[in-house]
């Protein structure tokens, strides 16, 4: 069994004793090297608590999910290679730093993935963004590619695949196949999502061990309708319509 149950953890700074700090359910641990779960800080857990709450209104849902999306993008960018870069400061001293030299592109899985584009644009000015539309085929009930629009030179870019909920992984796995068919190497793909199911993460890690997954939380599982539990319901509905 590679998965552990979601543990409960005391959260909060040390000005209160451990017993006085609230405990909260934190992410399940995942034993796949290619899955990075964001640090389970009080900030992140409070943001996730807001968006999981069925009583949170649409404006708040958008605001708080955007904040988590920013954290995901910042973490994903840490996985890209950098080169040494020394600069001179205004006081005339050298600072030995680094610089990212590659090209990136966002690829959102429509429609929910488009909700993550703003955070990517805020972190990477004028970033190119492609789109993939995958829907369940009525006849076969398997995911089917309906539409894609990707930059011509995508094979030379790091692709940040965006989809907030990794449930069974069907659409995301197909999206990775589309990117690979356009020449993007598997190890140049990073998949960003807010909440993953253990099944979805394991599926992905098995099929594409070189694709990096960056997620805020690995939840307990899937229900009979393949919704993530405890989850947050239908992300697209809550972000775009409710």
- Of the listed 137, 153, 177, 237, which one is catalytic? 237
Q: What's the min distance (Å) between Cβ of 237 and ligand URA?
A: 7
Could you tell me the CA-to-CA distances from 230 to 49, 183, 196, 223, 227 in Å, in that order? 11, 37, 11, 9, 9
Distant-in-sequence, close-in-space partners of 171: CB < 8 Å, separation ≥ 6:
109, 134, 143, 163
| Catalytic residue status for 238 | no
Q: What's the min distance (Å) between Cβ of 63 and ligand URA?
A: 18
What is the spatial distance between Cα 125 and Cα 122, in angstroms, rounded to a whole number? 6
**Residue 130 · residue 149 · CB < 8 Å:** yes
What is the spatial distance between Cα 139 and Cα 132, in angstroms, rounded to a whole number? 21
What is the spatial distance between Cα 78 and Cα 97, in angstroms, rounded to a whole number? 14
Number of other CB atoms surrounding residue 56 within 10 Å = 19
| Catalytic residue status for 53 | no
Choose between 34 and 65: whose C-beta lies nearer to ligand URA. Answer: 65
Angle 198-207/170-181 helices, nearest 10 degrees?
30
Choose between 106 and 231: whose C-beta lies nearer to ligand URA. Answer: 231
Site residues, ligand URA (CB under 6 A): 112, 165, 167, 227-228, 231, 234-236
- Of the listed 88, 89, 140, 241, which one is catalytic? 140
CB contact burial 32-53 (16+ within 10 A = b; e otherwise): bebbbbbebeeebbebbebbbe
Choose between 111 and 149: whose C-beta lies nearer to ligand URA. Answer: 111
Q: What's the min distance (Å) between Cβ of 37 and ligand URA?
A: 17
Q: What's the min distance (Å) between Cβ of 44 and ligand URA?
A: 19
Phi-psi category of residue 169: left, alpha or beta, with phi > 0 → left and psi -120 to 50 → alpha: left
| Catalytic residue status for 136 | yes
| Catalytic residue status for 241 | no
Q: Could you tell me the maximum CA-CA distance found in the chain, to the nearest angstrom? A: 68
Tokens of 172: 């995301």
- Of the listed 5, 136, 153, 187, which one is catalytic? 136
- Of the listed 70, 121, 148, 234, which one is catalytic? 234
211 alpha carbon, distance to own chain's centre: 12
Q: What's the min distance (Å) between Cβ of 84 and ligand URA?
A: 42
Choose between 63 and 227: whose C-beta lies nearer to ligand URA. Answer: 227
The residues that are catalytic are: 136, 140, 234, 237
């Amino acid at each position: 069994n590679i998965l552990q149950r979601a543990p409960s953890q005391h959260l909060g700074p040390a000005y209160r004793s451990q017993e006085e700090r609230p405990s909260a359910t934190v992410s399940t641990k995942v034993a796949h090297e290619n899955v990075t779960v964001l640090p389970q800080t009080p900030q992140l857990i409070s943001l996730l608590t807001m968006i999981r709450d069925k009583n949170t209104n649409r404006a708040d849902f958008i605001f708080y999910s955007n904040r988590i999306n920013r954290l995901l993008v910042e973490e994903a960018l840490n996985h890209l290679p950098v080169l040494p870069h020394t600069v001179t400061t205004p006081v005339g001293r050298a600072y030995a730093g680094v610089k990212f030299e590659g090209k990136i592109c966002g690829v959102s899985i429509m429609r929910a993935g488009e909700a993550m584009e703003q955070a990517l644009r805020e972190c990477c000015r004028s970033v190119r963004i492609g789109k993939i539309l995958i829907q369940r085929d009525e006849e076969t009930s398997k995911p089917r590619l309906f539409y894609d629009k990707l930059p011509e030179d995508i094979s030379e870019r790091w692709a940040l695949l965006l989809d907030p909920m990794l449930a069974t992984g069907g659409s995301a796995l197909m999206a990775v196949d589309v990117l690979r068919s356009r020449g993007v190497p598997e190890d140049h793909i990073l998949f960003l999502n807010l909440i993953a199911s253990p099944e979805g993460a394991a599926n992905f890690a098995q099929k594409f061990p070189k694709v990096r997954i960056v997620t805020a939380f690995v939840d307990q599982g899937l229900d009979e309708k393949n919704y993530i539990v405890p989850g947050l319901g239908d992300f697209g509905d809550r972000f775009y319509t409710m």
